[in-house]
Amino acid sequence: MPENVPAPTGEVHEVGVRHGMFGVHGTGDTSGYGGLVRPTVYPGDAQRPYGGWYDEVADALEVATPRVVIDRGEITFHVRREDLPTVAKLLRDELKFELLSGVSGVHYPDDHGAELHAVYHLLSMTYNRRIRVEVTAPDADPHVPSLVPLYPTADWHERETFDMFGIVFDGHPALTRILMPDDWPGHPQRKDYPLGGIPVEYKGGSVPPPDQRRSYN
């Protein structure tokens, strides 16, 4: 099966339902997809053997990795947030994943108790291997250990994820906003953030904010 084909039916599990293009409520949706309803799904857990070097990495992380997902030919290790620094140190020092190339945030409002996800993209330059590590935190306790002491490249990525999603990276040397003004209310890439905005001026013209544009309902 080609790697870019989604997992067959039965190999995913649903964590919520999205209504409309953006999944928000109480604001204008001018996309024309206001009536769209579709499930939010995760790929299912992978089963051993994973194949090739995937098993080598999985063996090293087995104690700290509750779930392993392989989707579209890419492997993701889901670890407990409290184990993240230990896992990252092992990946860096023993498995030669020398580069943390990015930290991404995700918000799943219906994934109760695990609404916030932080996803780490790691590269082994020694072996030319790529993996992802993913941790979750609840909205009520949005704390995840910072990896800046282990991977300095995480600095600005963690700041951006904090700015956009509100994940607090404990131990970060200067966890401040990086895109929005310091006094900006809320975190703009969360699913519960309103669609409204401010008018944008462009070469003498003005584009109204999304919730004031034409509705297609």
pLDDT score of 60: 92
pLDDT score of 7: 46
Query: Does residue 1 have a pLDDT over 60?
Result: no
138 found inside a domain: yes
Same domain, 16 and 39: yes
Q: With pLDDT > 70 as the criterion, what percentage of the chain qualifies?
A: 79
CB count, 10 Å around CB of 105?
22
Distance from C-alpha of 157 to C-alpha of 120, rounded to nearest angstrom: 10
Same domain, 145 and 169: yes
Same domain, 71 and 133: yes
Same domain, 6 and 39: yes
Confidence of residue 3 (pLDDT cuts 50, 70, 90): very low
Same domain, 75 and 146: yes
Contact between 76 and 61 under an 8 Å Cβ cutoff? The reply is no
Is 89 exposed, middle or buried, given 0-12, 13-18 or 19+ CB atoms closer than 10 A?
middle
Residue 82 sits in a domain whose CATH number is 3.30.460.80
Same domain, 84 and 19: no
Same domain, 33 and 104: no
Domain count, the chain: 2
213 found inside a domain: no
Question: Average pLDDT for residues 156-175, to the nearest whole number?
Answer: 97
Same domain, 75 and 125: yes
Q: Which residue has the higher pLDDT, 198 or 5?
A: 198
Query: What pTM was estimated for this model as a whole?
Result: 0.81
Would you state the structure tokens that stand for residue 40, as one six-digit string? 């939010």
| pLDDT tens digits, one per residue of 183-208 | 888 998 998 887 665 555 666 676 66
87 found inside a domain: yes
Same domain, 92 and 56: yes
| pLDDT tens digits, one per residue of 16-55 | 787 777 666 665 666 667 778 888 787 888 988 999 999 9
Q: With pLDDT > 90 as the criterion, what percentage of the chain qualifies?
A: 55
The CA R_g of the chain, rounded to the nearest whole Å, is: 20
Same domain, 153 and 81: yes
34 found inside a domain: yes
192 found inside a domain: no
Distance from C-alpha of 13 to C-alpha of 17, rounded to nearest angstrom: 12
Question: Average pLDDT for residues 119-133, to the nearest whole number?
Answer: 97
Distance from C-alpha of 214 to C-alpha of 125, rounded to nearest angstrom: 49
Query: Does residue 91 have a pLDDT over 80?
Result: yes
Same domain, 30 and 67: no
State the virtual CA torsion across 73, 63, 67, 77 in degrees, nearest 10.
-40
Of 89-103, 157-171, 195-209, minimum mean pLDDT range: 195-209
Which domain does 115 fall in, by range?
45-186
Would you state the structure tokens that stand for residue 12, as one six-digit string? 């995913």
208 found inside a domain: no
Query: Does residue 133 have a pLDDT over 90?
Result: yes
147 found inside a domain: yes
User: Strand pairing partners for 136?
Assistant: 117
Query: Does residue 88 have a pLDDT over 80?
Result: yes
Contact between 145 and 84 under an 8 Å Cβ cutoff? The reply is yes
